[in-house]
Structure 1
């Protein structure tokens, strides 16, 4: 079984609109901005705000992406982005629940 390699660009394309909605900003176009918005979304979806199940995994994605932003090695960056992506698989559902809460 082959595993799809996720790039920073594909990660942003897949999740930027949802993350931006929670962060109340325009969708990110760079990994650095995406990660800043993801950190905000992690806070808002987490225990302190909405307390949505599954949001506790988002800070781990933020950590991996912060390391990816700082990396100068393309291979390392790819690995870090792919690790972060494993923690974002439920983001669409989390944001949908957040939207329902917001009314």
Structure 2
């Protein structure tokens, strides 16, 4: 992931995967992504997929980012990005199960 993390980059990278697990349309805002990430975390945890707890942390960071301004927002986005790094692998595992 690049050193600059923005809402746009997180949405572009993770919204489709998260939406698949949440069974919704891909998020277009940080609020939507935070909510869907929380739902995805619950579903991945129920499926015993390792790392699901990282999505809970990412969800909280995304929610915080959606209500703050720079530079605090940037810190929350970087925190979320760190906890989203394994999302694609977790979702791929989930896809094999459903």
Question: TM-score normalized by structure 1?
Answer: 0.90
Return the offset for 1:4.
1.1
- State which of 57, 64, 70 in structure 2 corresponds to 1:60: 57
In the TM superposition, what whole-angstrom CA distance separates every residue of 1:61-94 from its partner, at most 9, and x where no partner exists? 11111111111x2111011011110000000000
* Residues 71-90 of structure 1: pairs in structure 2 closer than 5 A: 71=68, 73-90=69-86
Q: Deviations over 1:14-54 (max 9, x none)?
A: 000000000001101111111111110010001xx101011
Return 5+ residue gaps in structure 2 as ranges: none
Which residues of 2 match residues 1-103 of structure 1 at below 5 A?
4-46=3-45, 49-71=46-68, 73-102=69-98
Kindly tell me the number of residue pairs found equivalent between the two proteins: 97
Note if contact 2:54-2:83 (Cα within 8 Å) is conserved in structure 1.
yes
Q: 2:31 and 2:21 mapped to 1: Cα distance? A: 17
- Bigger Rg, which one: 1
